[in-house]
Structure 1
Amino acid sequence: MKSVKSKYTAVIGTVLALSASITAELAHADQLADVKQHGAVSCGVYSNVEPFSYPDPQSRELVGMDVDLCRAVAKRLGVKATLEPLAVEARVPQLKLGRVDMVIANLAYTKARATQIAFSDAYYSTKEVLLVKEANAKKTLADLGGQRFSATDGSTSAQSIPLSIKGGQAVTFHDTSSAFMALEQNKVQGFVTNQMTARQIQSQVANTAGAVAILPEPMLIEPIAIGMQQDQAAMKDAVNKALVEMDQDGEMQQIFDKWLGPKTKYGLSRTDKVTPIEKLKFTPV
């Protein structure tokens, strides 16, 4: 009797395990189908990082390049877009937990992130640069070895410091303002951030006692892409198809020029086309 009971228990245990496994697979089976069924896709965007996603001063609604990208991709998927504001360091964790369907938040590809999430094709490349006090404008990265540099938590800016500056020490802060303040207060020798933010800060403090310079040597060159959950081939294919179509019909260029282009305070030119990351020439961190 004991043997029969043990076998019965083992069979029930196996059935329950299989059932749980099947349920989990079904829940994770086809995110694209789920998004289409619900008629909406949720995008994790920055809560307050201009010009990517930030509250409009008058309406208080989120606006920015990444907001426009989310809505454009959603439209091509045939669904509505919902926006979920995220802190810089929360982008990958919230995506992994399934609290957003995708992350469109100036997300740079890194080897570490690629083990946790999937990336779309890159839709442009950016640079991480080093802001220093104007008095240090002629220094090189090699001149600054062994110094302390600020960056925001969970950013590739922080990762670039020990890679690009020999003995460089990263001091991280929750937000851009705090990281830049560390430079202003001489707690660090420089502040590492993306080139758009760097240009904006440089413009804001120009002709003041706190004027800063951007060193010409980039810390990193980074492909920017949309983050998605792993093992969702249909979703990834659909998002890549949307990005390619946006590139071909000019919508991607329009969005870029609106927020970052030559007529904006950032003065950037987009020379990249939507390209699979594996086909790009860059040094991943």
Structure 2
Amino acid sequence: MQVKKIYAGIGIALGAVAWMAPACADQLADIKGRGELTCGVFSNVQPFSYPNAQTRQLEGMDVDLCAAVAKHIGVKAKLEPLAVEARIPQLKLGRVDIVVANLAYTKARATQIDFSDSYYSTNEVLVVKKADANKKLSDFAGQKISAADGSTSAQSIPLSIKGGQAVTFHDTSSAFLALEQNKVKGFVTNRMTATEIVKQVAGTDGAVAIASEPMLVEPIAVGLRKNEPAMLEAVNKALGAMEQSGEMSSIFDKWLGPKTPYGLTRTDKVTPIDQLKFTPLS
């Protein structure tokens, strides 16, 4: 009887180990096994990830980056459109393998997810009515300023504008609409999105401008799940190879470079975040 109990105990223990095994499985091995990398990207934020007007298929800088990282890993890319505020939760829940959605590093995010090496840096900027274009950030002290919920744009408001009151909305379009409707005095977003918005409304009664004084500088990286060292190494290896081959610069120039409406010149290189000089958001 005692022997049966011992074998029964061993059986239960082995069953528990077998049940736990999938949870402890290596993410990179799992991705290679199914031949697919699920990338969380924006659902509609130009020029990062947005639907093509004709094909309705997602395209943009982040879409190309996802495809390139997947190719270097040796699998296909599968795109999963996400709202701004859903990027971290969906990654933590395992519904996407990585997030490539203009994701800026912050201290709070780094406690929840891991970040790859940074592949470029961006500025948060203040979009205002054209009449306010020459005002300094200090002129907006204590004012209501809009931004997308869950974005570093929202976090940057009280840090860059004394007494600035962040008013957040579900998405970028709604946050900008608040400025158009005079519900706020300014709207914060990244420089690329701001440039596109300024161009879209130029010459209309709702014309806006980017305030001359910039806000925070932020390193942008790929978001990954915590405690997946093999996956983190694979993504960093892919980014490094893209930097060395010139592929990273080609993707940047295609969507943000001098010949695009944004007119940016890439001066950054793929660099570990802990080697960058910047003031991280909390």
The TM-score with structure 2 as length reference comes to 0.93
CA shift for structure 1 position 16:
5.7
CA shift for structure 1 position 194:
0.4
CA shift for structure 1 position 142:
1.3
Q: Distance in 2 between matches of 1:81 and 1:206?
A: 36
1:55-104 Cα shifts (integer Å, max 9, x gaps): 11111111111111001000000111111111111111000000111001
The amino acid of 1:275's aligned partner reads T
Within the candidate set 230, 234, 237, 2:230 is matched to 234
**Alignment check: 8 A CA contact 2:135 2:212 kept:** no
State whether structure 2 residue 160 is matched by structure 1 residue 176: no
State whether structure 2 residue 272 is matched by structure 1 residue 276: yes
The amino acid of 2:134's aligned partner reads K
Match of 1:81? 77
Within the candidate set 207, 210, 214, 2:210 is matched to 214
Q: Distance in 1 between matches of 2:266 and 2:177?
A: 30
Within the candidate set 191, 198, 206, 2:194 is matched to 198
Gaps of 5+ in 2: none
Match of 1:247? 243
State whether structure 2 residue 1 is matched by structure 1 residue 36: no
Gaps of 5+ in 1: none
State whether structure 2 residue 53 is matched by structure 1 residue 57: yes
Match of 2:158? 162
Within the candidate set 125, 133, 137, 1:141 is matched to 137
CA shift for structure 1 position 144:
1.1
CA change 1:78–1:214 in 2 (3 A) is: same
Match of 2:184? 188
CA change 1:255–1:93 in 2 (3 A) is: same
CA shift for structure 1 position 18:
8.5
Q: Distance in 2 between matches of 1:219 and 1:101?
A: 31
Q: Distance in 2 between matches of 1:18 and 1:111?
A: 40
1:109-145 Cα shifts (integer Å, max 9, x gaps): 1111111111100000001100111111121111211
Within the candidate set 254, 259, 275, 1:258 is matched to 254
CA shift for structure 1 position 24:
3.4
1:132-175 Cα shifts (integer Å, max 9, x gaps): 11111121111211110000111000011111111111111112
CA RMSD of aligned residues (A): 2.0
1:223-242 Cα shifts (integer Å, max 9, x gaps): 11000101000000010000
CA change 1:136–1:33 in 2 (3 A) is: same
Q: Distance in 2 between matches of 1:191 and 1:279?
A: 31
The amino acid of 1:264's aligned partner reads T
Match of 1:70? 66
1:159-196 Cα shifts (integer Å, max 9, x gaps): 11111111111111112221111111111010000000
Q: Please state whether the residue corresponding to 1:85 is helix, strand or coil.
A: strand
Q: Distance in 1 between matches of 2:130 and 2:102?
A: 27
Q: Please state whether the residue corresponding to 1:188 is helix, strand or coil.
A: coil
CA change 1:24–1:270 in 2 (3 A) is: farther
CA change 1:16–1:110 in 2 (3 A) is: farther
Match of 1:152? 148
The amino acid of 1:221's aligned partner reads V
CA shift for structure 1 position 25:
5.3
Q: Distance in 1 between matches of 2:226 and 2:13?
A: 23
CA shift for structure 1 position 207:
2.6
| Identity level (%) | 71
CA change 1:20–1:223 in 2 (3 A) is: farther
Structure 1 window deviating more from structure 2 (46-55 vs 188-197): it is 46-55
Within the candidate set 43, 46, 57, 1:47 is matched to 43
The TM-score with structure 1 as length reference comes to 0.92
